[in-house]
Every structure is written in structure tokens, then in C-alpha cells.
């Protein structure tokens, strides 16, 4: 297995999904690779935080679905420092683009004339979207893995559960919903910070698969809790409906 291949195994290692031989080879690689060691620590902490935030019984078909997806999905390699990227076959550049962004770039190169110009613009837009999505994911992971993160869990609607994870040191919060029904047509779930009875918009929630994890927008500041309401598509500046749930933030 090449060094570039080993760089792609951080997620599987953190979740104990490697075969014994692969695990042994990867652990030898960890000794010399600071980037992979750091990513394994972050992924392990994030997985543990999510496990504590929400615990539900998986459906019987989940294992089969995961194994089927493993055979068709390729993990992106991690970012590594520049000096390691030169010695590791360029693995550090792999994560900069999502598969979608990379495909868009290739399409732009292959195009001709006006089609090529249009595709090149599409590729730039895709790269920007990919970078923004990656930044949001990294910020969400930072909250979940923060040393001072605390979790509060409560019931939402129709048997759904929600957990709010707060890092006072990072001044950020994240929200995880499980079993949440899809919002009615023309409606969207909106999150709010509760600033002493005044609700402050904190982003939208889109549980298209029944579950969702989202970094709440804006700083926690002096908020003592949060709420979730059903709002018109696009969200509202102030709540327009009775809260589906109100949750106090965990004590310091």
C-alpha cells in the first residue's frame, strides 16, 4: 500500500473499520505522519461527541447499506503540510476539492468555445461552494470536539429528539436532530438563540433524511438556551409560530 493510500484511511481507522493487516500498517504510518495523527485524534473525538449527543438504535438494514456504500464511495485524502505533500505523492492536495468540484473542473477543461467558458465558471462556483461546505464542516467538528463542549438533549416533535452542544470557550453551538420529520411544503425549521426571552436567528435546519447536524449561526454570547420553530421557506427575522421546542443550554 502506498503512502498516498495510507493517507485515506484516517476515517476508517478512527471508526475501527480496518482489517487487522491494514490497521497494523496504518499504525506504523501514524508514527511518522503528523497530519494523519492529528486527523485521527479529531475524527475520534468528533465521533465520540456525536455518540454522546444522540444515541438511537440503528435500523436492521443499516449495516448492509453501509457495506454496500463502502464498495462504491472513495474517501478523499487528508490535507497534509506542504513538505509532506511533496514526499507523499501530492496527497495533501486531494481534500481541497470535493469529487463534485473536481468533476466540474475536468468538464471545464474538456469543453470548447462558449461551453468551455460556461463550464469553467461552473467549476469556480463549485470550488467556492466546496470550500464553504468544508469550512462549515470543520467548524462543526471543532464545536463537537471542543474540550469544554457540553450537551443537553430534549424532545422535539413527533417523537424526534434534539441535542445542543455548546462550547463556551469557542463561543459557538451546534444542534443535532434525530427522527425529525421533513418540514411541510413551503416551510422550514429555524433555530433561535434565546437571549433572556428575546429570540435571535441561528440558522435553518433541513432534516431531509430524518436526521441533521448543523452549526448554529452566530456566537452564543449571553444566550441561555435555544428554540426551534416552523417558518416560511427562507426563514424569518423573528419567530412567527409557537416554538416546537425550547431547550436550556447545559450548565457551565
Which stretch of DSSP H or E encloses residue 199?
strand 198-205
Sign of CA dihedral 135, 239, 153, 196: positive
Please check whether residue 204 is in contact with residue 221, taking contact to mean a CB–CB distance below 8 angstroms: no
Q: What is the pLDDT of residues 24-75, one digit of tens each?
A: 787 777 777 878 878 877 777 766 666 655 555 566 666 677 667 666 656 5
Band of the pLDDT at 124, cuts 50, 70, 90? Answer: low
Band of the pLDDT at 229, cuts 50, 70, 90? Answer: very high
Q: Which residue has the higher pLDDT, 105 or 7?
A: 7
DSSP summary character for residue 8: T
Q: What angle do the packed helices 113-144 and 99-110 form, to 10 degrees?
A: 170
**Predicted confidence (pLDDT) at residue 85 exceeds the cutoff of 50:** no
- For residues 126 and 97, give the distance between their C-alpha atoms in angstroms, rounded to a whole number: 9
Q: Which residue has the higher pLDDT, 122 or 40?
A: 40
Closest CA to 245 of 178, 191, 187: 191
**pLDDT at res. 96:** 39
**Predicted confidence (pLDDT) at residue 226 exceeds the cutoff of 90:** yes
Q: What is the pLDDT of residues 125-159, one digit of tens each?
A: 666 666 666 666 777 778 877 888 888 888 887 78
Q: What is the pLDDT of residues 153-186, one digit of tens each?
A: 888 877 888 888 899 999 999 988 888 888 889 9
List the grid coordinates of 197: 426571552
Please check whether residue 30 is in contact with residue 40, taking contact to mean a CB–CB distance below 8 angstroms: yes
Q: Which residue has the higher pLDDT, 149 or 17?
A: 149
Which stretch of DSSP H or E encloses residue 51?
helix 34-53
- For residues 183 and 19, give the distance between their C-alpha atoms in angstroms, rounded to a whole number: 41
**pLDDT at res. 228:** 92
Q: Which residue has the higher pLDDT, 35 or 218?
A: 218
Amino acid at each position: 500500500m502506498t503512502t498516498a493510500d495510507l493517507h485515506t484511511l484516517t476515517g476508517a481507522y478512527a471508526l475501527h473499520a480496518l482489517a487487522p493487516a491494514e490497521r497494523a500498517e496504518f499504525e506504523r504510518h501514524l508514527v511518522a505522519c503528523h497530519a494523519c495523527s492529528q486527523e485521527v485524534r479529531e475524527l475520534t473525538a468528533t465521533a465520540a461527541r456525536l455518540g454522546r449527543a444522540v444515541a438511537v438504535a440503528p435500523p436492521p438494514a443499516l449495516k448492509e447499506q453501509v457495506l454496500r456504500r463502502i464498495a462504491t464511495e472513495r474517501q478523499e485524502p487528508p490535507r497534509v503540510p506542504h513538505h509532506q505533500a511533496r514526499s507523499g505523492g501530492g496527497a495533501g492536495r486531494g481534500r481541497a476539492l470535493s469529487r463534485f468540484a473536481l468533476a466540474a473542473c475536468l468538464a471545464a477543461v474538456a469543453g470548447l468555445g462558449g461551453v468551455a467558458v460556461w463550464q469553467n465558471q461552473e467549476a469556480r462556483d463549485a470550488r467556492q461552494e466546496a470550500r464553504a461546505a468544508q469550512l462549515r464542516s470543520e467548524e462543526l467538528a471543532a464545536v463537537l470536539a471542543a474540550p469544554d463542549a457540553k450537551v443537553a438533549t430534549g424532545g422535539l416533535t413527533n417523537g424526534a429528539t434534539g441535542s445542543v452542544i455548546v462550547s463556551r470557550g469557542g463561543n459557538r453551538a451546534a444542534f443535532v436532530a434525530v427522527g425529525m420529520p421533513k418540514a411541510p411544503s413551503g416551510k422550514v425549521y429555524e433555530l433561535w438563540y434565546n437571549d433572556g426571552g428575546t429570540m435571535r436567528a441561528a440558522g435553518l435546519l433541513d432534516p431531509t433524511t430524518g436526521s441533521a447536524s448543523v452549526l448554529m449561526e452566530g456566537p452564543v454570547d449571553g444566550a441561555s438556551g435555544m428554540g426551534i420553530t416552523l417558518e416560511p421557506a427562507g426563514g424569518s427575522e423573528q419567530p412567527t409560530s409557537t416554538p416546537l421546542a425550547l431547550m436550556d443550554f447545559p450548565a457551565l
